[in-house]
Amino acid sequence: MASTGITPRESDAFRRGSLNGKQLSAREREDMVKRFLPNEPESPSTPTSKSSHNWRPTSPANKDHQRRKTGFFRHFLHLLIYTIVSALFSVYFRFRRSYRLVRSRIVSVLYHHHRTPEFIQRDVRQLERLPNHLSVILDFNESDEDQGEAGLEGLLNNVCEIAAWSASAGIPFLSVYERTGMHLAYL
């Protein structure tokens, strides 16, 4: 009872109605608690102010209506903010994706020139020696986990790209090895 200011002795006396074995009257119990109660108004005949005169207790139905009204507006505001933020992020991410796609295409054309024979020949010209025989070991992937090079089509695309590169580089002989030998029927 320390948080309320009432000592345990006073609390016990108030509950049991007796202090030191003597019964307490209603007036004595009131006096014991009176110091914790707010002061009484000075005079009941004081004129009421306008604001207190117009004050009406709100009925539960009126409170419920007001709660529904503010709840609707709050919900509408949250929905509006969510929609605006979602739209802005959606536009931002679409523009960012488009920008990166265009940039990667430009970089691919400028820096990944390995698909044109002239650039391959120019790069190979700087080498002192070229092999006469190039051997390549490929792997047949049935699943599409390796960047879209799955199945027989992916295997044949890799063989064709290596053959074109070795022909452009001036390598006369190419050997392609694959564990299952599946590519042999299609070459």
Pair 148, 103 in one domain: no
pLDDT in tens, 47-104: 555 555 555 555 665 566 566 667 888 999 999 999 999 999 999 999 999 999 998 8
Say if 35 falls within a structural domain: yes
Say if 7 falls within a structural domain: yes
Say if 122 falls within a structural domain: no
Residue 49: the pLDDT is: 53
Strands 18-19 and 22-23: antiparallel
Percent of the chain whose predicted confidence (pLDDT) is above 70:
73
Helix, coil or strand: residue 90: helix
CA angle at residue 145 from 141 to 150, to 5 degrees? 40
For residue 149, give its domain range.
130-186
Residue 113: the pLDDT is: 57
Split into its structural domains, the chain has a count of 3
Say if 68 falls within a structural domain: yes
pLDDT for residue 131 is more than 70: yes
pLDDT for residue 39 is more than 70: yes
Q: Are 180 and 140 in contact (CB under 8 A)?
A: yes
Handedness of CA 16, 20, 23, 25 (dihedral sign): negative
